[in-house]
Amino acid sequence: MIPVTYLFVPGNRPERFAKALASGADRVIVDLEDAVAPADKAMARRALGAWLVQLSPQECARVMVRINDAFSPWHVDDLDWLVGKPLDEVMLAKAETAEQIGRLRGHLSAHARVMPLVETVRGVLALSALCSAEGVSRLAFGAVDYQLDLDLPGTGLAIDMAAVSLAMASRAADLPSPVAGVTTEIDAGRVQADLQHARMLGFGAKLCVHPLQVAAVREAIRPDEQTLAWARRVDSAWRSASDQGAIQVDGRMVDKPVALRAQRILALAESTH
């Protein structure tokens, strides 16, 4: 089942780790990057390492870590710390090259995957290489840092263009739809509005910064009852049709693309139940 909700928790706040895991988020991302001051980086690694050994394999499978970017002074220490850790997936901040991903994977177990967090213009221009790098799980978009990198006065067309580029590159590489960036406001309405906008740009999941946002994202991404009822009618009619060329449901034509859309809606509802 493809994750929909990713919840950040600061690596230097170990008292929040278990709460984050209990939030219902599909993935918990323990942050060693922006949320942790330079003086606390080493402590955060130690705290996360001590917590990981207490978790069951099933719990570990839901935990990720965001490491510092390849140009930061903490990147090498992060890589060294990762060796032997029971992590299935690692987020790379400000990912810009396939070589960065390959270097990171050299410090992970053979089955572990990398989620490139695209936050810079260089990262957007390298999307094809990032998507084709071995071991990539899916892309995530760091819209706040991208806005800073391009010196944008606010959100708008430039952010949307970059976001659509991530979605298109992901589709071309047969990766899951990318993960939308954070909403800094906790307000559920704002979170849901941001998610709906991201969905229109081709995104299928969202980064969260507070447990309350997790429920808001799940509610917003789950199809409403009217849409679900339509999808069930279409799917049932399509599966029972003797000739699956084109049929009618509710007085409208249904062909293969429409039937596949209905099936996708039902799968999304199941994954967010």
User: How confident is the model over 169-187, as pLDDT tens digits?
Assistant: 999 999 999 999 999 999 9
Please state, in angstroms and rounded to a whole number, the distance separating the CA atoms of residues 12 and 36.
6
Bridge partners (DSSP) listed for residue 136: 114
Please state, in angstroms and rounded to a whole number, the distance separating the CA atoms of residues 53 and 273.
30
Q: How many Cα atoms are found within 13 Å in the side-chain-facing hemisphere of 102?
A: 7
Residues carrying CATH 3.20.20.60, the chain: 5-221
Please state, in angstroms and rounded to a whole number, the distance separating the CA atoms of residues 22 and 126.
36
pLDDT at 228: 79
- Give phi and psi for 7, each to the nearest 5: -110, 120
- DSSP H or E segment with residue 115: strand 113-118
From the options 3.50.50.60, 3.20.20.60, 3.40.50.620, 3.30.413.10, give the CATH code of 5-221: 3.20.20.60
Q: Is 58 exposed, middle or buried (0-12, 13-18, 19+ CB in 10 A)?
A: exposed
pLDDT at 231: 78
User: How confident is the model over 28-71, as pLDDT tens digits?
Assistant: 999 999 999 999 999 999 999 999 999 999 999 999 999 999 99
Token duo for residue 74: 């903490």
**Of 49-58, 90-99, 137-146, 246-255, where does mean pLDDT reach its minimum?**
246-255
Which of 5, 58, 18 minimizes the C-alpha distance to 217?
A: 5
pLDDT at residue 115 greater than cutoff 90: yes
pLDDT at 23: 95
CA distances, 246 to each of 24, 155, 234 (Å):
40, 42, 11
